[in-house]
Copies of this chain bind each other. A is one copy, B any other.
Amino acid sequence: MKKPLILVTNDDGITAQGIRALVEVASTLGDVVVVAPDSPQSAMGHAITIDRPIRLRPASVFDNIEAYECSGTPVDCVKLAKNVIFKDRTIDLCVSGINHGSNASINIIYSGTMSAAMEASLESIPSIGFSLLDYSFSANFEAGKPFVRRIMDYVMAHGMEHGSLLSVNIPNLPEAEIKGIRVCRQADARWVEEYSEAIDPRGQRYYWLTGKFVNEDLGNDTDIWALDNGYISVVPSHHDLTNYRAVSLMKDLEFQRV
């Protein structure tokens, strides 16, 4: 039987630790090809490169794994994989990450990791974004690996409906302390931000973003609840941003010229 083709990408860049962990797990399931940014692209959201050329180069990073580094964003990586590298081949699964840091709750909209996964889902490629709640370069990705494998197995076995993707977050715990897997909704939490303000060596003012994450959504069906309680959270997501409730409520804004 032909092995499935698995595209691996991320937003921390092709030399991050997290993508190496994902490549290791994916290699046990299929033929892996990596297409990832050549520099860190965290917080790039769903940005794409339209105003300048993009570079795509073979990269020697992983043993015996075909890999390419791309000068663009995570979404550009997926578009290039689909339209250039695998123009005539079907990508069976796209996995993005493992991100260094949380993509739970509102973080999904800022996340390059999750936007790459969403871009694959738009092409009807089953896709999953993985994140570990540890920002450091030396984060321990080992504990989560059996669960990453389990979730990839599930998606390979069940497929995914058009336009859907999974956002998976892994608590920063030893494997034995991870309680299990919960399928959740995205918590309605937010960032409360402050800008650090300073003067550069040339006397010009600049700002640098800082902030803290605040969760006032206390439901026990959210990703934040799952993570706080030792579970891996899985949020099935999609690209339809329509607020259907508001569609019904706002019909009085409609207007027909007579």
Contact = CB atoms under 8 A, between A and B. Distances in A.
Contacts of A109: 46, 115, 118, 239, 241
A242 B234 contact: no
Interface string A227-258: 00000001111111111101101110111110
Contacts of A255: 150, 180-181
Interface string A195-216: 1011010001111110000000
A55 B208 CA distance: 9
A237 B245 CA distance: 10
Interface of A is mostly: mixed
Contact of A183 (B73, B237, B247): B247
Interface string A160-192: 010110010000000000111111111010100
A42 B53 contact: no
A43 interface: yes
Interface stretch (A17-25, A29-37, A76-84, A92-100): A76-84
B236 A246 contact: yes
A16 interface: no
A179 B209 contact: no
A249 to B, nearest CB: 8
Contacts of A50: 42-43, 209
Contacts of A185: 240, 242, 244, 247
A226 to B, nearest CB: 10
A106 interface: yes
A193 interface: yes
Nearest to A237: B241
Contacts of A73: 47
B84 A207 contact: yes
Interface of A: 40, 42-51, 53-56, 73, 75-76, 79-80, 82-84, 106, 108-110, 115, 118, 122-123, 150-151, 154, 161, 163-164, 167, 178-186, 188, 190, 193-195, 197-198, 200, 204-209, 234-244, 246-247, 249-251, 253-257
